[in-house]
Structure 1
Amino acid sequence: MVVSPNVYAENHELKIATWLSPMQTMNADVLPTWGKWIEEATQGRVTIKLEYDLAHPKSLVELVEDGAVDAAWTFHGYQPGRFRLTQIAELPGNKSTGEAASVAHWRINEKYFSDSFEYDGVELAGVFVHGPGQVHMREPINSLRDLKDKKIRVGGGISTEIGKLLKVSGVSAPATKAYEMLSQGVADGLFMQMDMMKAARFKDVAPYSYKLPTGLYLGSFGIFISPQFMEKLSEQDRQAIRSVSGEKLSALAGRYWSKADEIGEQDIIKSGSKVENFPAEDIAYFEDLTKGLDSEWIKSVKSRKVDAQAALTEFRQIVDGYQPIEL
């Protein structure tokens, strides 16, 4: 592709396809902060604009790949056939902050997974996790075992596998449809991080929340840029954007999503909804139930030709020893 030198002198607007509420931390904090970093790094030659509800979240990667949108972010679990390696960050038992798991996610992807086809056609700008997924119900329960046969909204990825182990009747739907499903009784509850109980008002339709110390799972997300957009830029501006993306952007997202969980839980309690910790016997039950998930994930990515065991071991080492980075 031949690009006129004059194109490089132009200012460019990076249009980012987004979803969820404008008040949710991704739209209110993460993407605007990244936009400021980009603008500063490119000396104002590249700015961002958020564009809402352009397509279903599961379609956004393809739209970036096709050049139909400049950038987007989405939940990896919406495309389980394509994204399997990303489930390394979702496995239960991570005693970590969202920032630690997000940075570990980026580092492991760069070291072990960068040759995988999973990100073919897009430039990966960052990966991150939301906070621990917990149990939220329309009606109260007494234990994890009470979830058997309940209709539970699951988002995909490891959360779906957790649902199978708990023998729930899984209802697959994006977060944007969950409120309607709960309000109409299509679902009895959902697996979700605390943030969304406030940001998406799920507390109104699922006012009983139950927590495990490290949650049921974490949710893995990616932020993607179109190569066609990057080709419009000078090499200087391409490198400038990369300098404020990657590990730095991953840490930013993980940090903000963790803070949003704290705010969400405080809001639940203040509103009068119930937040309870599962008892010790439920914690032991869950740990026993899920102890085979590591090996199942390793087996599931065998066709990717990566050293999954080494990647998982190092992922947890990074998480355990993580110190917050300066942003």
Structure 2
Amino acid sequence: MSNLTKIACAGLLIGLSGQAYSETTLRVGSWLPPTHPQNVDVWPTWGKWVEEATEGRVKVVVEYGLGHPKTMFELVEDGVIDASFSYHGYVPGRFKLTQAVEQPLLGVSAEAASVAHWRVFNKYFAEANEHDGLEVIGLFTHGPGQVQMAKPVSSLADLNGKKIRLGGGVQAEIGHRMGVTAVGAPAPKVYEMMQQGVIDGVFIPMVDQKSLRLKEVARNVIAFPGGMYLGSFGIFMNQDFLADLDAKDRDAILAVSGEKLSAMAGAAWDAGDAVGLKAAQEAGVNITMVQEGDALSAEFKELTKGMDEAFLESVAERGVDAKAALAELREIARSYK
């Protein structure tokens, strides 16, 4: 081998070594089962976007079994994992402004709500710093929350005294107004709790008829058009992880996040709801599809009167124009194409 060839080979090895060394793994923590749309669709899609945007220098991997979803905020902030997502309602008191998107009667898809959520957060709510210590890279909602019960109910009044799993946020207020006995638990525990008779039902989107197998235990569903509420989720990253990246890769990751990620996540949950509804129908679940003007619809509208005012009062100390934000969020969501 000539000296020139040896030098060329050495240079190639150094280059390959440098390439391998510069490759970064972005660890995402997920608390939902691997079969859930968040893990089947959202993370793989975003991971592909990240890998392409960084030309393969950053690769996304998903890790499971990290505990209660409410701990994801702390795990990311502490650098145990690099990114995750969670339901804001699991941490009552810390996240109040995010409940704007959860208010009843918005009447839009999760995709539309998620885009509005992201835009309004950045314009009005980010300055309140409810996500202190985290880099927010996306916001989304799950699909419309519905009533899912072990036994049939014919009116919302029938829910009075029933043991209902509630995840926090606006659904907690709705449950309070219905007089239910609220039971707290992460969503993945609902199947077991219903199977064992610990709870009579749950307020949760239709996706979970399939993803959490609720079609086997929640055999009676009341489905409102637009649902009773939407659930607010944040997608967030460790700030030090981002800061340690090369600026080019940091900017690339943020470019495929934000509104783009928020819209994609919302759309994935919409698609999951459609799959969940179909699975429930095929399994023979008793589904009451509420129509505008029905007695159930009128009962729900009466039940939720004054919730806007209650929300605005609850966030008054946050120092933002929540009234303008709520109005703009609804305008954006309802005009979204």
Give the TM-score normalised by structure 2.
Answer: 0.92
Distance of 2:63 and 2:91 partners within structure 1: 21
Structure 1 position 192 matched with structure 2 position 207:
no
2:127 alignment partner, SS class: coil
The match for 1:13 among 13, 19, 25 is: 25
Structure 1 position 305 matched with structure 2 position 319:
yes
List gaps (5 residues or longer) in structure 2.
1-17
1:170 alignment partner, SS class: strand
Give the deviation of 1:289 after TM superposition.
1.2
Give the deviation of 1:7 after TM superposition.
11
Distance of 2:237 and 2:214 partners within structure 1: 31
Instruction: Give the alignment of 1:55-66 within 5 angstroms.
Output: 55-66=67-78
Structure 1 position 290 matched with structure 2 position 304:
yes
In structure 2, give the amino acid aligned to 1:274.
N
2:80 alignment partner, SS class: coil
1:313 alignment partner, SS class: helix
Distance of 1:146 and 1:251 partners within structure 2: 36
Which residue number corresponds to residue 281 of structure 1? Answer: 295
The answer to whether the 8 Å contact 1:8/1:234 transfers is no
1:194 alignment partner, SS class: coil
Aligned residues: 318
Distance of 1:81 and 1:53 partners within structure 2: 26
In structure 1, give the amino acid aligned to 2:41.
D
The answer to whether the 8 Å contact 1:8/1:233 transfers is no
Structure 1 position 99 matched with structure 2 position 111:
yes
Instruction: Give the alignment of 1:244-255 within 5 angstroms.
Output: 244-255=256-267
The match for 2:46 among 30, 34, 38 is: 34
Which residue number corresponds to residue 88 of structure 2? Answer: 76
Which residue number corresponds to residue 3 of structure 1? Answer: none
Give the deviation of 1:56 after TM superposition.
1.2
The answer to whether the 8 Å contact 2:142/2:231 transfers is yes
Give the deviation of 1:277 after TM superposition.
2.1
Which residue number corresponds to residue 192 of structure 2? Answer: 180
In structure 2, give the amino acid aligned to 1:316.
R
Instruction: Give the alignment of 1:126-141 within 5 angstroms.
Output: 126-141=138-153
Give the deviation of 1:8 after TM superposition.
12
1:115 alignment partner, SS class: helix
The answer to whether the 8 Å contact 1:127/1:221 transfers is yes
Give the deviation of 1:9 after TM superposition.
7.0
Distance of 2:107 and 2:175 partners within structure 1: 21
The answer to whether the 8 Å contact 1:136/1:207 transfers is yes
Bigger Rg, structure 1 or 2: 2
The answer to whether the 8 Å contact 1:7/1:233 transfers is no
Structure 1 position 317 matched with structure 2 position 327:
no
Q: Residues 28-71 of structure 1, C-alpha deviation per residue, up to 9 Å, x if partnerless?
A: 00010000000010000001000001121111101111112111
The answer to whether the 8 Å contact 2:161/2:181 transfers is yes
The answer to whether the 8 Å contact 1:8/1:232 transfers is no
**RMSD of the alignment, in Å?**
1.4
Distance of 1:114 and 1:160 partners within structure 2: 24
Give the deviation of 1:131 after TM superposition.
0.6
Deviating beyond 6 angstroms after TM superposition, the runs of 4 or more aligned structure 1 residues are: 6-9
In structure 1, give the amino acid aligned to 2:331.
Q
Distance of 1:74 and 1:49 partners within structure 2: 17
List gaps (5 residues or longer) in structure 1.
1-5
Distance of 2:187 and 2:45 partners within structure 1: 24
Give the deviation of 1:320 after TM superposition.
1.4
1:47 alignment partner, SS class: strand
Distance of 1:84 and 1:217 partners within structure 2: 15
Distance of 1:263 and 1:74 partners within structure 2: 22
1:14 alignment partner, SS class: strand
